[in-house]
Chain A
Amino acid sequence: MAERTGARALRRGGGAWLLAALASLLAGPCPAPAQGTVSVLPVQGLRFGVLSSGIPTVISPLDAGRRAVVELVGSGQVSVTFELPAALRAGSGSRSLPLRFGPADGRVTFPHSGRVLVFDPSLPVSFAIPPGSGGATVYLGGSAEPGPRQAPGAYDAGITVTVVVSNSAT
């Protein structure tokens, strides 16, 4: 029994098992459980249409014709963040038309379950998209507030939607 102590013990029985275990742990990244993947598909922009100077216009996230729509296809635990512009720009960017987004201007629907999630688009929103659930649809409303001396013309700005899909394994 005394011979199975020290370095010799590692060459036999439990020692070999220990080395194999350490090697497998250190050899590479730990295999994760099924990794969630989500594709982000822009479907429709936020369309304020024709505005008159001095008259604000509000688009509800329920307004099918004018709200912004983004489809999330896939599954996983996601965190959605909007980069919301403070204003639309015209021409070379010297003219601006202020925008405002309220705490209920964000909305997520889950087609299979019918669940609806209302959120503040100025803050990240997190939710799970179960596998096989058909993804999720994110809607965005907002307000455009042209000033009384708003210069006529076409204004626009980009709204970037970033989705982080996170899974954790040890």
Chain B
Amino acid sequence: MKKLALSLAALAVAALPAVSHAQTASATVTASATVQASLTATTTHQLKFGTLAMGASSTLASSGGSQAALSGLATAGLGQVQVSHNSNVTVTATVPAVLTNAVSGNTLGFAANCATASSSGGTGTSVTCASFSFNAATPGTSQSTYVLVGGTVTGSAAAGVGTFTGDIDFTFTASN
């Protein structure tokens, strides 16, 4: 009988499956990258009002029906900055309120008007010079946008004669 009991016990043990224990744990780490934008800006034309009569004012429009042509070596016309970019771009500009005669120190009143175009000297879309933006048609694909710069110089006989100049500083920033 003892043999029978031991056999039953052995059978019972054999009939039970092996008991497995498993613990699962997980965690997540982040993979990251930043693809930098391609952005260059080149001044292709200076804004030139040409020779004005003393006290005379002049306006060069960068957009609209009276949009002026780009300046030449010796001809008045719009300024232009060619921007090559593969992302959206935001722009700020610092525009002087006057043009200054470096010799006499006299000034003429000045205001700028700006526009963007998809081709050099092309039809301008008016923007506010101080702050504006333009987009990449296809992000990642390099393309050019042209910033056209016109303005109004207010004549003043009291300013006398000479060459009056001022700098318009543009800052271009790639965005997404």
Contact = CB atoms under 8 A, between A and B. Distances in A.
Interface of A: 4-5, 9, 14-15, 17-18, 21-22, 25-26, 29-30, 32, 35-53, 57, 68-70, 76, 85, 88, 90-91, 95, 97, 99, 140, 142, 144, 146-147, 149-170
A49 B86 CA distance: 19
Contacts, number: 185
A30 B29 contact: no
Interface string B9-47: 100110010111111111111111111111000000000
Contacts of A39: 25
Report, as a range, how many residues of chain B touch the other chain: 35 or more
A153 B35 contact: yes
Main secondary structure on A side of the interface with B: strand
A144 to B, nearest CB: 5
Interface of B: 1-2, 5-6, 8-9, 12-13, 16, 18-38, 86-87, 138-141, 174, 176
B19 A18 contact: no
B27 A40 contact: yes
B140 A150 contact: yes
Contact of B19 (A14, A22, A30): A30
Given A45-B29, A99-B31, A162-B25, 6 more contacts: A14-B2, A150-B140, A151-B35, A152-B176, A161-B28, A170-B16
